[in-house]
Amino acid sequence: MTFLGKAEVTEEQYLDVLTRKTAYLFSASCEIGGILGGADERQQNALRDYGLNLGTAFQLVDDLLDFTSNDDVLGKAAGADLLGGKVTLPLIYLMEAEPEMAESVRNVLRKGDYSEVPRGEILAAISRTGALDRARAVADDFAESARSALDCLPQSPYSESLRALPTYVLDRDR
C-alpha cells in the first residue's frame, strides 16, 4: 500500500512488495506441505525456497500478462494494474530506459484512466525499450531458482510435478 499510486518505485522495492504479497504465501504453503509430508529439515527448507521463487515468478508473470494479454483471455481488464495505482517491473524498466515516460505513467496514475496517455503508447514504449523482455528474464531466473531448490528431493512423481510447475507458471496466458 505504501507504493500505491507512486511512479517512483525501485526494482528492489517492487520485489519486496511482490515477495510480501505473493511469494511468502507460496513459500509457506510449500514448506507446510513438506512438514505434513514428513520431509526432513533440509527438504523443508528446499520446499520453502522453492515456493518463494515460484511465487515470485508467478507474480512477475501475472504483472507481465497485464501488458501482453487481453481482457477475454485474462478474465479481467488488461492494463488494470496501472489504473489501480500499481507500478510493476516492466514500467520500472521503461522509466529507467526512457525517463521522459515517467510523466506519462504519473498521468495515468493520477487520472486513473488512459484518456490523456493511450495504453497503446505505453505498450509501444515498453516494447521498444525491451522492458518486457527484461522483466521476463527476471521471471525466468526465479523459475529456474525454484527448480534448482528441489535438487535435494528424491526423484518421485511428486517432485517431478513440482519441477514442472515453474514451466507452467512461465507459459500461462491467464
The pLDDT value recorded for residue 48 is: 98
Residue 1 forms part of a structural domain: no
Residue 149 forms part of a structural domain: yes
Residue 131 forms part of a structural domain: yes
Residue 160 forms part of a structural domain: yes
CB atoms within 10 A of CB 124: 11
- pLDDT (average), residues 111-139: 95
Residue 6 forms part of a structural domain: no
| Average pLDDT across the chain, whole number | 94
CATH of residue 140's domain is 1.10.600.10
The pLDDT value recorded for residue 87 is: 96
Number of structural domains, the chain? 1
**Residues 20-27: contacts with CB within 8 Å, 24+ apart?**
21/59, 22/55, 22/56, 22/58, 22/59, 23/51, 23/52, 23/53, 23/54, 23/55, 23/56, 23/59, 24/52, 24/55, 25/55, 26/51, 26/52, 26/54, 26/55, 26/58, 27/51, 27/52, 27/55
Residue 84 forms part of a structural domain: yes
- Hey, what's the cell of 147? 527448480
pLDDT tens, residue by residue, 53-107: 999 999 999 999 999 887 676 666 678 999 999 999 999 999 999 999 999 999 9
Residue 67 forms part of a structural domain: yes
Note the pTM of the prediction, 2 decimals: 0.93
pLDDT tens, residue by residue, 143-153: 999 999 999 99
Residue 65 forms part of a structural domain: yes
What is the extent of the structural domain holding 125?
A: 11-171
